[in-house]
A and B are shown apart, each in its own frame.
Chain A
Amino acid sequence: MQQTGRCLERHILFNCPCEPIKIIIFLLWHSSYNLHNPCSYSSYNSQSPEGRKGKMEEQVEMVGKAFVDHYYHLFDNDRPSLALLYQPTSMLTFEGQKIQGTDNIIAKLVQLPFQQCHHVISTIDSQLSSFAGGILVFVSGTLQLQGEDHPLRFSQMFHLIPTVEGSFFVLNDIFRLNYG
């Protein structure tokens, strides 16, 4: 049962045409299902603390990866839709420039001096920020701009906070290019 669940998760994560944000919600439902279902609760409880911690770590990794896929897919294909991932309290520091709130953040991102871009992600590291389910995601990769010969290297970190609807929003966002 456990293994079938995991195969299903991977299938949905990589093959499902539904919006990735629904995948995040599915993963949260799946993890809460495991905690509250009487059958799996006893098996969860009978696991060692190390086993439980490992499962939790896995879930944090999965949320981080699902979020990164979703975020850069939107960035590269439908930048205004990133608005759904921010709130009035969100903070972005973009190459040292500080911006607060959905409207200002989206205004900055859509006004960046390129139309088309493509992010290629090299590394994703995720950790629990330990407050009510917050997750820190640290990303590195390259950014190919249309018409440019060489891709730019970048690093970015996100602090994701759970919403009441069972999704996440970006509270903290810091972006830096990595120059040669």
Chain B
Amino acid sequence: MEEQVEMVGKAFVDHYYHLFDNDRPSLALLYQPTSMLTFEGQKIQGTDNIIAKLVQLPFQQCHHVISTIDSQPSSFAGGILVFVSGTLQLQGEDHPLRFSQMFHLIPTVEGSFFVLNDIFRLNYA
């Protein structure tokens, strides 16, 4: 069971940041109207508002490098909590930014997952 939770966490993280770095609008498939994002303290709800925020971030190209992924079952009908840390390299910037992010994944009827809760913070020196 633990292994499955870990595998789902890793697979999700790979998929999420691949989309983020290469096709940001497609992240819409991972959110629903009930989804909540807190991005550097700013609270945003629902797919449309969340995607609007993410595509409007002040950089075109970026690359996430993931250092750690920790997953646990959230104990509700197959929910999974995923806690990520890594670095974010922005095009044109000398130094990568460090960040932490957590996702609460909820199973969908189609057998996939959507992101119900999403919290992102940069880790400043």
Instruction: Report A's interface with B, CB cutoff 8 A.
Output: 57, 89, 91, 93, 96, 98, 123, 125, 127-131, 134, 136, 138, 140, 153, 155, 157, 159, 171-172, 174, 176, 178, 180
B117 touches A140 (CB 8 A): no
Q: Which of A57, A93, A131, A140 contacts B70 (CB 8 A)?
A: A93
A159 touches B100 (CB 8 A): no
Q: Which of A89, A136, A171, A178 contacts B117 (CB 8 A)?
A: A136
User: Does B72 sit within 8 A of A, measured CB to CB?
Assistant: yes
The 5 closest A-B pairs by CB, nearest first: A155-B100, A174-B83, A138-B119, A131-B76, A125-B38
User: Does B36 sit within 8 A of A, measured CB to CB?
Assistant: yes
Point out the residues of chain B lying under 8 angstroms from A127, CB to CB.
36, 38, 117, 119
B104 touches A129 (CB 8 A): yes
Kindly report which residue of chain A lies nearest to residue B34, judged by CB atoms.
A130
Contact-residue size bin, chain B (C-beta under 8 Å from the other chain): 20 to 34
Q: Which of A123, A129, A174 contacts B72 (CB 8 A)?
A: A174
Q: Which of B74, B104, B116, B121 contacts A140 (CB 8 A)?
A: B121
| B contact patch SS | strand
A130 touches B116 (CB 8 A): yes
Q: Which of B79, B81, B85 contacts A176 (CB 8 A)?
A: B85
User: Does B75 sit within 8 A of A, measured CB to CB?
Assistant: yes
A136 touches B119 (CB 8 A): yes
A178 touches B85 (CB 8 A): yes
B104 touches A91 (CB 8 A): no
A140 to B121, CA, bound (A): 8
A176 touches B70 (CB 8 A): yes
Q: Which of B68, B76, B102 contacts A157 (CB 8 A)?
A: B102
The listed residue with most A CB atoms (<10 A of its CB), out of B36, B75, B116, is: B75
Kindly report which residue of chain A lies nearest to residue B6, judged by CB atoms.
A98
Beta-carbon contacts under 8 Å, B72-123 to A = 72-76, 79, 81, 83, 85, 98, 100, 102, 104, 116-117, 119, 121, 123
